[in-house]
Each structure stands twice: as structure tokens, then as C-alpha cells.
Amino acid sequence: MTDAFLTTPDYPAWLADLKSRVEQARRRAALSVNRELVSLYWQIGRDIIERQDRQGWGAKVVDQLARDLRAAFPDMRGFSPRNLKYMRALAEAWPSGEFVQQAAAQLPWFHLCTLLDKLKSNDLREWYALRAAEHGWSRSMLVMQIETRLHERQGNAITNFPDRLPPPQSDLARDTLKDPYIFDFLGLTEDAKERDIEHALTQHVTRFLLELGAGFAFVGRQYRIDVGGDEFFIDLLFYHLKLRCYVVVELKATPFKPEYAGQLNWMVQQSENTLF
């Protein structure tokens, strides 16, 4: 019995529509998180300004606040002194917060930092922010447009930003979905990145096995081993048919550290005891 639906034009059209809906949902979810992140950063910046102005606190409060927030949220890289100064600059540029809650909230944090660094006029910052959101510019594209003074070439051209968001496949959409500050904000840091690497590898496992060389067989991902009643999981486990041995792959999304080698050696030893 054949799958008749595959030969009709309805199924491909339906599948294309579902793919579009999934991408749009992902984009809306990322924008929602980004909006909360930008709003939080603006509020922190506003609070810093208020306390410095009203209570006479000096610049050192930023360094102290950075230390305390990083101690409370060690997985969040957004609380560096440099980033807190950007938060202050954001609140200083838009005291009312209205623009930040609307157009600026469509842009990843690094885009906003670029606007604060590269432009001194709020009118120009808003002009470029609107067009970056409308056209889906990446950060590098935004920098190029600012440096080539696009506003002088286009003038006050009408924008349809209120009625249009960038398509999911745009550079801006990809930047938003991959913004490391969003991962930090959600508590999805290195583990999430390692899962992304793992997922990408298993999606293309055939090509990856060919890159490893002849004789490798894929055993599994997140392969569970039991050591003295405790559970441990191997990121990727292979078996080499010619060497007759298991090959353990431990994924890390950070620069190499010496302790990683010890962790891997321990994992190999435990794998030998458990698997053989």
C-alpha cells in the first residue's frame, strides 16, 4: 500500500505551511525573551542612574554591583562591569523607556550596544534601529550601514516597520535565536551549547563517521553508564570495528582546560569496566 498523500499537491503545501508556522513561533518566542532581557537591562541601568544621582553614589557602585550580581548568578555573563555601563548608557539615552520597550526590544543586546557606541544622536540611533529590525540586519551589517552613513543616502525614507517583522531566515532572526545573553538569561549556558553541538553531529552522523575514518560505528548519544550506583552519561559513544574498542567523545563548548583530559580519561576507564 503506497502513501497516496505523498503524490498529492496538498501535502507539500501543508508541510511548507507548518514549517513556516514553526519558524514564526520560534521567532516570536525569541523576541519575547529578548524583550524581557532588554527591559531588565534598561531597568538596571535606570536604577544605577537614580542611585548615583539621588544618593551620590560614585562610579565604584557599578563594579560592586557587578561582583554581587555575578556571585548571585554565576552562569550569567551579562553582569560584567562593562555590560552594566552599557545598561546605564541605554537608560540614559532613553529615559522614558518607551522606545526601548518597542523598537529596541526587537534587536539583540549587541545590536543596541553597537548603536550606543557608534552613534551619539538618539534620532540616528532610532533611525538605524528601525531599519535593522525591519530588514533583519546582522550586527556586522548594522555596523557597515552606520559607517557608510546610510541615513544620508536614504534620508527620511518611509519605513513599514510597524507592519512588518524580519523573516525567520534573516540574519537578525538568527542572531536573536543564538544570542548568548538570551541563553544566560534563561539559564541555558554551556550545557545548551554542548547539546546543540551534539544534536548537530547526530543529525549528520553519516558524514561525521566518514570524517572519523573507516571502522567507526555509532553506539549512541547520552549513553548511560552506572558507576557504583551513580549515573553518568557519555555525550557520544562509538565502537571501532577493527580495533575492537569503544571510543568516547566528550563535548565541550569552552576552550580546553587540563581537567577535561582527566575527566575524559576517567570516563574511558569507567566505560571499559562497564561496557566490556
On whether the CB atoms of residues 34 and 108 are closer than 8 A, the answer is yes
On whether the CB atoms of residues 223 and 234 are closer than 8 A, the answer is yes
Tell me the β-bridge partners of 216: 240
Cα distance between residue 104 and residue 198, in whole Å:
33
**φ and ψ of 181, to 5 deg:** -70, -30
pLDDT by residue for the chain (276 residues), tens only, comes to 457 666 677 888 888 889 888 888 887 888 888 889 999 999 999 999 999 988 888 888 999 999 999 999 887 888 999 999 999 999 999 998 888 888 788 898 989 999 999 999 999 999 999 888 888 888 888 998 899 888 887 765 545 444 455 555 566 766 676 676 776 777 655 555 666 666 666 667 667 777 778 888 888 777 777 766 667 778 888 888 888 888 888 777 777 777 777 777 777 676 666 655
What's the predicted TM-score (pTM) here?
Answer: 0.61
Cα distance between residue 272 and residue 266, in whole Å:
10
pLDDT value for 65: 94
Cα distance between residue 3 and residue 159, in whole Å:
47
Here the cell at position 171 is 540574519
Which residues fall within 8 angstroms of residue 68, CB to CB, at 6 or more apart?
Answer: none
Q: Spell out a b/e string for 215-239, using b for 16 or more CB atoms within 10 Å of the CB, else e.
A: ebebeebebebeeeeeeeebbbbbe
Here the cell at position 194 is 554542548
| H/E run at residue 230 | strand 230-240
> Could you give the 3-state DSSP secondary structure of residue 237?
strand
pLDDT value for 158: 47
Cα distance between residue 17 and residue 48, in whole Å:
46
Cα distance between residue 95 and residue 106, in whole Å:
18
